[in-house]
Homo-oligomer: A and B are copies of this chain.
Amino acid sequence: MIPAPYLLYLGHSDDPLGIKTSRGLAHFVPASCVGEFRHDDCPLTVGMPRMTLAEGKAAGAQTLVLGIANPGGSMGASLVADALAAIRLGMHVAAGLHHRLRDEPELVRAAAEAGVRLFDVRDPPPSLPVGNGLPRAGRRLLTVGTDCSVGKMYAAIAIERGLRARGHAADFRATGQTGILIAGEGIAVDAVVADFISGAVEVLAPARHDDGWDVIEGQGSLFHPSFAGVSTGLLHGAQPHALVLCHEIDRPHLRGLPHARVPELAECIDANLRIARLTSPDARFVGVCLNTSRLPEGAAGRHCAEIAAQLGLPTTDPVRFGVAPIVEEIERCFASSTPITTVSA
């Protein structure tokens, strides 16, 4: 386990989507965070007190979390320099980039000298099996998206909490760096060797016999030419009974690819069902989670209602309006998963 509390690193980032790990930690585990570190050219904040590295250390931070992400997951010179400074102040460093902390000799040396540790949270577990696609017990929900960084992790955690609040057994299964840092466990499926994508998800969400739900965080999009292979293997390994589509309103193009259009919601639902059916013939959608942050509140509500009418699915912005309609749809569609309160009545 990574020692908390954390100092959240924003660095020089000017990409709101690029700081989603820091933002996710600030949102879901604020009690484990002391503040945020950013350079003067960083116009972003996750709403935590801004601190220098030394101030963070003095405030009790045990670990600097390099909570930023970029396509390809590389690590620039400035980021390495900041990590080095944190190490010299006696902080552990955690990162979830493809480029590993342990592959930076300077950081390894400094960490050994300072007696602190480097955590590469994207390291997959050793000896993963290849997937087998055999039907397994338990209920699984997977969040899928029209694009990367549209709120699939947020939706999954909100649905896990919503199911629990209604008395269901439910566990969030993290598949990305942010989710793993929040949950304290998980497998970064985009970091496993390609042959083992579906197998990794079969390990992450194994058979369960308590009538409860594994709520699995999706990755990428079937429509994203960089990452659709990951999304496909994840869908097959998840063997989901229920799917939730996540989408950001008015995104102009796919993340990182100005030439690539964002798919229509109905098109994305259709494609996910086609692919899902290979290992989960009865997979169905139980809701849509919209990121409406570009709209004022009234317009956001109207937009959700329009999409719900178009698609015939409960539609919400989980940040603004919660996920109650989706949890109710899950209860309606999967009758044996009645709330414990009802069962014991």
A interface list, Cβ under 8 A from B: 71-73, 98, 129-134, 189-195, 197-199, 223, 225-234, 236-237, 256-257, 259-260, 271, 274-275, 278-279
Instruction: Enumerate chain B residues within 8 angstroms of A279, measured Cβ to Cβ.
Output: 225
Find out whether the CB atom of B134 lies under 8 angstroms from the CB atom of A259. Answer: yes
Of all chain B residues, the one with the shortest Cβ separation from A199 is B226
Q: A225-B133, A229-B232, A257-B132 are in contact. Are A197 and B194 (CB under 8 A)?
A: yes
Find out whether the CB atom of A192 lies under 8 angstroms from the CB atom of B193. Answer: yes
Query: Within the complex, what minimum Cβ distance (angstroms) separates A214 from chain B?
Result: 18
Q: How far is the CA of A225 from the CA of B51 in the complex (A)?
A: 48
Q: How far is the CA of A234 from the CA of B192 in the complex (A)?
A: 16
Instruction: Enumerate chain B residues within 8 angstroms of A190, measured Cβ to Cβ.
Output: 193-195
Q: How far is the CA of A234 from the CA of B232 in the complex (A)?
A: 12
Top-9 shortest CB links A-B: A229-B233, A133-B225, A197-B229, A190-B195, A232-B232, A130-B226, A229-B229, A229-B232, A131-B226
User: A72, A193, A236: which has the most chain B beta carbons within 10 Å?
Assistant: A193
Find out whether the CB atom of B72 lies under 8 angstroms from the CB atom of A228. Answer: no
Q: A191-B195, A194-B192, A223-B278 are in contact. Are A71 and B130 (CB under 8 A)?
A: yes
Find out whether the CB atom of B236 lies under 8 angstroms from the CB atom of A225. Answer: yes
Find out whether the CB atom of B195 lies under 8 angstroms from the CB atom of A73. Answer: yes
Q: How far is the CA of A226 from the CA of B236 in the complex (A)?
A: 8
Q: How far is the CA of A257 from the CA of B191 in the complex (A)?
A: 25
Instruction: Enumerate chain B residues within 8 angstroms of A131, measured Cβ to Cβ.
Output: 225-226
Q: How far is the CA of A73 from the CA of B230 in the complex (A)?
A: 20
Instruction: Enumerate chain B residues within 8 angstroms of A192, measured Cβ to Cβ.
Output: 193-194
The contact of A226 among B132, B256, B257, by CB within 8 Å, is B132
Find out whether the CB atom of B225 lies under 8 angstroms from the CB atom of A195. Answer: no
Query: Within the complex, what minimum Cβ distance (angstroms) separates A252 from chain B?
Result: 16
| 27 A-B contact pairs sorted by A residue (CB < 8 Å) | A71-B130, A72-B130, A98-B193, A132-B225, A132-B257, A133-B226, A190-B194, A190-B195, A195-B227, A197-B230, A198-B225, A198-B227, A198-B228, A198-B229, A223-B278, A225-B236, A225-B237, A228-B233, A229-B230, A229-B231, A229-B232, A229-B234, A229-B236, A232-B232, A232-B233, A271-B274, A274-B274
Q: How far is the CA of A231 from the CA of B230 in the complex (A)?
A: 10
